[in-house]
A and B are shown apart, each in its own frame.
Chain A
């Protein structure tokens, strides 16, 4: 599974540094570091260092020929220029944003609707909500093969259904036609993302006090008004975080697409992570692959900063 791991949720309660009297301080100060040093060193060696190393690779001439040389030529921004000027790069960016925004839109709307549905009181509501999580736990490559089969041009289930409903006259090779393939991979990812959105929105809905709705009912508000004036405003922080995380986790998706289409046909489904991976491991141009990685990180960094500044500004206004 991997690509959209619902991990972050943990993040919000983290601001609870313990307060302790000063006399304890010195003693426990050092004791604390001993516990975190193993993890700290591990992440330093396996995560921070590789990230810095990636940056260094991006300004060097690194191909399969020069890879094992001790000293590689410094090339400045030449790798970046090569990536940006590449004729497929605009298409890659477009694919990335269409894929990400398209997926977010549908999985958010459907996920929100399901969260609303499962928030109502009826037997098995909790079971259904729990069952949804299974789609997040399944390895993405399994999702890839299932949807390859369902989207197949010959005898694929989705084509059979659409033809039977007379929506299309005959089967479409969803993953083989350049103008349709991106929709094909989006469908698979939306399917995963629905559960992700429902899972994150549900607790926010449960947290809204039923008394608010009761009061609104007494005042004569209908379902739509209640949704618009109570649910949406109270859910705003949840919605923002869901959309933000949705963007980050969708923008960096690699495995699902790579296993479904390999980025093809003719780059129709090549998003930025797939592009960066193929520069490195298909074209063996590691320097350019590293530069594409940095560009990917840069986009994620900009989006993260935007989200953080938005939420911190709102917190200050409150």
Chain B
């Protein structure tokens, strides 16, 4: 009895903590559906009785939010595809074969993740301007791949290490080429890892800010993060509009989070501290 009571108290405390921590999201959504007169009030209105989707309509039509979402999708999806292809190949090579300097390569991949994006955006900007890649999706896509690839190789490699070598040898003996072995044996078995890596890459690219801000000055090419940034300047204190844009921008994030949560957790915690 005492134990049950303790558990209930703990749960209530945690629930309170979670409500406080996740309150900013509630506030965002609430502000976005409030009647114009309810947004800036003192005391603040904590619940709305007649929600309006007017700002969503405005944001989607006048602000062309749909186009920015499409741009984000093009960038994140392409970057994810390239990263996963390069990452799977490299992780497989690093897991299965004897590579001279393996340690060094792995440490470098680890250290690459500590590099600030700001330190790379300047040289890449100048390089891209010379080869005329600015204001093309490919500039941001390449920069995103660069940023995600070391991480993807590092989280995929343990998955490949776990697959028994005997399975591969069996495939070889049955006449599978090494490419065929990768495609038919390794990739299906490492699928949870690959899905996790792909989802995380997509989400990180979806939220990427500094490369898009710098490389894409043409409004019609910009992703949703830059659209929101620009909306701050444009609509300053029209918070219901800003919150509507923000809500739209995180709908894909929330959907992916709901459907793939177990992959995300697994991907983030692979190896490492779990020992």
Contact = CB atoms under 8 A, between A and B. Distances in A.
Contacts of B207: 1-2, 137-142
Interface stretch (A84-92, A145-153, A309-317): A145-153
A34 B177 CA distance: 14
A13 B162 CA distance: 12
Interface stretch (A73-81, A215-223, A224-232, A293-301): A293-301
B246 A142 contact: yes
Interface string A112-131: 00100110111111001011
B14 A128 contact: yes
A147 B24 contact: yes
A166 interface: no
B31 interface: yes
Interface in B205-247: 206-210, 214, 224-225, 228-229, 231-232, 237, 239, 242-243, 246
Contacts of A147: 24
B214 A137 contact: no
A164 B43 CA distance: 9
B86 interface: yes
A68 B127 CA distance: 11
A37 B42 CA distance: 61
Interface string A79-107: 00000000000000000000000000000
B37 interface: no
B7 A123 contact: yes
A293 B261 contact: no
A11 B122 contact: no
Interface residues of A, number: 109
A145 B242 contact: yes
A42 B149 contact: yes
A143 B21 CA distance: 13
B242 A259 contact: no
Contacts of B120: 47, 50-51, 54
B156 to A, nearest CB: 9
Contacts of B97: 28-29, 31-33, 35
Contacts of B6: 122
A120 B17 CA distance: 15
A31 B207 CA distance: 37
B153 to A, nearest CB: 6
Contacts of A122: 6-8, 10-11, 14
Given A124-B11, A145-B242, A296 B119 contact: yes
Contact of B41 (A38, A143, A155): A155
A254 interface: yes
A200 interface: yes
Interface in B111-128: 111-127
Contact of A53 (B14, B123, B237): B123
A57 B209 contact: no
A149 B203 CA distance: 24
A311 B17 CA distance: 34
A266 interface: no
A36 B123 CA distance: 25
A38 B89 contact: yes
Interface string B235-267: 001010011001001100110110001001100
B153 A57 contact: no
Contact of A141 (B122, B154, B209): B209
Interface in A237-281: 238, 241, 248, 251-252, 254-255, 258-259, 273, 276-277, 280-281
B210 A43 contact: no
A16 B161 contact: yes
A117 B18 CA distance: 12
Interface string B89-121: 110111111111011011000111111111111
A5 B154 CA distance: 14
A133 interface: yes
A254 B14 contact: no
Interface string A42-77: 110011011101100100001000011000000000
Contact of A146 (B27, B44, B98, B225): B27
Contact of A154 (B40, B271, B275): B40
Interface in B29-64: 31, 39-44
A185 interface: no
A238 B272 CA distance: 10
B275 A133 contact: no
Contacts of B44: 155, 157, 160
B192 interface: no
Contacts of A38: 86, 89-90
A194 B21 CA distance: 9
A125 B118 contact: no
A286 B178 CA distance: 47
5 contacts: A10-B272, A54-B120, A152-B237, A155-B41, A259-B228
Given A43-B149, A252-B117, 15 more contacts: A17-B102, A28-B98, A32-B96, A39-B149, A117-B14, A118-B14, A123-B11, A124-B14, A133-B257, A134-B257, A149-B243, A155-B42, A286-B126, A293-B118, A293-B119
